[in-house]
A and B are shown apart, each in its own frame.
Chain A
Amino acid sequence: MSSSLPEQTQTPAPAGVFTLVITGAPYSSQAPQTALGFARAALAANKRIDRIFLYGDGVHLASALSVPPSDELNLSEAWAAFLAENSIAGVACIASALRRGLVNDSEMQRYGLPGSNLRAPFEIAGLGEWVDSAASGSRVIYFHKGG
């Protein structure tokens, strides 16, 4: 409203903090691409993104080992670059990740696995990270597989 009182116009806008939850896997859903389009637009509009949470099949986005053909977008790489450039946490749910063969070095050692494949800066953590976003009043937007 243009007639707002001066003190109101000086008050920062209500915290526009988003958490994006991606549950659709790259190359079997459009979810990671739509989420990236949303995330870029959110930052361009001066909103903050507190974290990206990968859940279910979405954890495949954090794989360092996916190698799409050279004329296709490498979604894992694109997301990792976006997170690093903007210092946004990317968290893969540990239960979803372990089930689907996505591990970091400490999980590799714990389970005696032949390798690890988590792409930096993604981290592995529990659902508590998602609960924290939801409970702290972040606007949580989910990106599921389509159909």
Chain B
Amino acid sequence: MTPLKTLHILNKPPDHSRYRLCLCAIGPEDGLLLTENGVLAVTWLADINSERCFALAPDLEARGLSPQISSEQIVSFEDMVDMAATAEHVISW
């Protein structure tokens, strides 16, 4: 995958106002990483360009949501560190 321009880390569920704000700020070269209750968005993925959308494994597993998302989109904390280190910018929503 080409390096991300901006990595957006989103830990809010889809009905949170900042979730909508985040989606407005995602550009074509950006990536989205769902963490904590942000992973609830995997049931709403129609919103999101799925190729560049990822979700943190422990948060998915804790909420029983791993089967709802393709395995290539599931990332570990190690992957999160790598994405956060290599993206040009990081925004935590």
Contacts and interface: CB of A to CB of B under 8 A. Distances in A.
A140 B90 CA distance: 8
Contacts of B18: 147
A38 B37 contact: no
A38 B16 CA distance: 24
Contacts, number: 58
B37 A41 contact: no
Interface in B4-35: 9, 11-13, 16, 18-19, 35
Contacts of A147: 11-13, 16, 18-19, 37
B36 A146 contact: yes
Contact of A16 (B11, B36, B85): B85
A73 interface: no
Interface string A116-141: 00000000000000000000000111
Contacts of A44: 78
Contacts of A141: 9, 84, 90, 92
A142 interface: yes
B84 A37 contact: no
B26 to A, nearest CB: 17
A107 to B, nearest CB: 29
A53 interface: no
A55 interface: no
Interface residues of A, number: 21
Nearest to A30: B36
B16 A37 contact: no
B50 interface: no
A34 B11 contact: yes
B81 A45 contact: yes
B8 to A, nearest CB: 12
Interface of B: 9, 11-13, 16, 18-19, 35-38, 56, 58-59, 76-78, 80-82, 84-85, 90, 92-93
Interface of A: 16, 18, 30-31, 34, 37-38, 40-42, 44-45, 47, 139-144, 146-147
